[in-house]
């Protein structure tokens, strides 16, 4: 979903700028600016995905470690 937003905005911008310029005032944005916005969006999306993955992995590892400790305690109680 996030990666489709820049594409949608680019299509809207191109459509706006390709219309007859005599009837519609169009704000021109340099291609470098659009490229920068798209690259920043992709970078931000990657950062969010990596942080989410790391948090989920840390949480999963914490749960697995807690279960191992619990199982060891139960095994010691049976003796």
Asked whether the beta carbons of 41 and 7 are under 8 A apart, the reply is: no
Q: State how many domains the chain has.
A: 1
Digit-coded pLDDT (tens) for 62-72 = 777 766 655 55
pLDDT of residue 48: 96
| DSSP 3-state of 6 | helix
Cβ-contact 6, 37 below 8 angstroms: yes
DSSP class of residue 2?
T
Measured distance CA(48)–CA(40) in Å, rounded: 12
The range of the structural domain enclosing residue 50 comes to 4-78
pTM of the full predicted structure? 0.47
9-57 pLDDT, tens digit each: 777 777 766 655 556 567 788 889 999 999 999 999 999 999 999 988 8
């Amino acid at each position: 979903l996030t990666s489709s937003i820049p594409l949608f905005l680019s299509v809207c911008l191109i459509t706006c700028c390709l219309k007859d310029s005599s009837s519609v005032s169009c704000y021109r944005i340099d291609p470098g600016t659009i490229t920068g916005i798209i690259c920043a969006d992709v970078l931000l999306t990657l950062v969010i995905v990596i942080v989410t993955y790391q948090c989920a992995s840390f949480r999963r590892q914490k749960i697995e470690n807690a279960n191992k400790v619990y199982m060891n305690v139960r095994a010691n109680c049976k003796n």
